[in-house]
Amino acid sequence: GQNIDQPTEMTATEGAIVQINCTYQTSGFNGLFWYQQHAGEAPTFLSYNVLDGLEEKGRFSSFLSRSKGYSYLLLKELQMKDSASYLCAVEGNAGKSTFGDGTTLTVKP
Amino acid sequence: ETGVTQTPRHLVMGMTNKKSLKCEQHLGHNAMYWYKQSAKKPLELMFVYNFKEQTENNSVPSRFSPECPNSSHLFLHLHTLQPEDSALYLCASSQVVGGWTGELFFGEGSRLTVL
């Protein structure tokens, strides 16, 4: 079956660095996605990893280890607007994406 | 026009009503999706349409009926829903290449309340 785990909630301070972890067990693997969803809004794409290693995009980076079934999203220089839910999603067999429950990040001044 | 638009944004209906949700994508993608997002639950895939053909029906009750008249439009027809069907219904699109779904582009969602 499909199983994706990520922490339910995290809190961090403005200007700090936070790492949101995601572990997965899925049928097949075509890539791992991170999405950001602000309250009351649509999820928006942040990053995609299909090979092992780190992908950097501005203040956000995402890491993947396929052998460990593990990914993390790293947010640097946190801003208040980064308070949102962060969704880990894995595309498995037949192009079907499975989402984790999401991690609600609260950034405090 | 934004990438993926959904209407209505909010919908309240009784259990005996018939209503429809509409989604339109302006990105030229070849696949469209319906997802259900309930409080404290992960996004649940409901239906997938690839090149207008339904390729996935994720064990969704028949009171939800999708329709995809062309690659840009997707509907979700609702009939005799239950209160537990109250949720945010998200439409998404992507460009499927070689079986790879890729990045999903989501609409703002339709917030459905069933009384």
Written as tens digits, the pLDDT of chain A (109 aa) is 678 999 999 999 999 999 999 999 988 899 999 999 999 889 999 999 999 999 999 999 999 999 999 999 999 999 999 999 999 999 987 777 889 999 999 999 9
Give the model confidence (pLDDT) of A50-69 as tens digits.
999 999 999 999 999 999 99
When pLDDT is averaged across residues B97-106 and rounded to a whole number, the result is: 88
Contact list in A for residue B45 (CB cut-off 8 A) is: 96-98
Band (pLDDT 50/70/90 cuts) for residue B31 is very high
Which residue out of B34, B38, B95, B101 would a mutagenesis test of the A interface target, given it has the greatest number of A Cβ atoms within 10 Å? B101
pLDDT at B58: 72
Residue B5 distance to chain A (closest CA, Å)? 11
Residue A45 distance to chain B (closest CA, Å)? 7
| Identity of the residue in A31, A35, A96 whose CB atom sits nearest the CB atom of B56 | A96
The DSSP string of chain B is --SEEEE-SEEEE-TT-EEEEEEEE-S--SEEEEEEE-TTS--EEEEEEETTEEEEE-S--TTEEEEEEETTEEEEEEES--GGG-EEEEEEEE--BTTB----EE---EEEEE-
Residue B55 distance to chain A (closest CA, Å)? 10
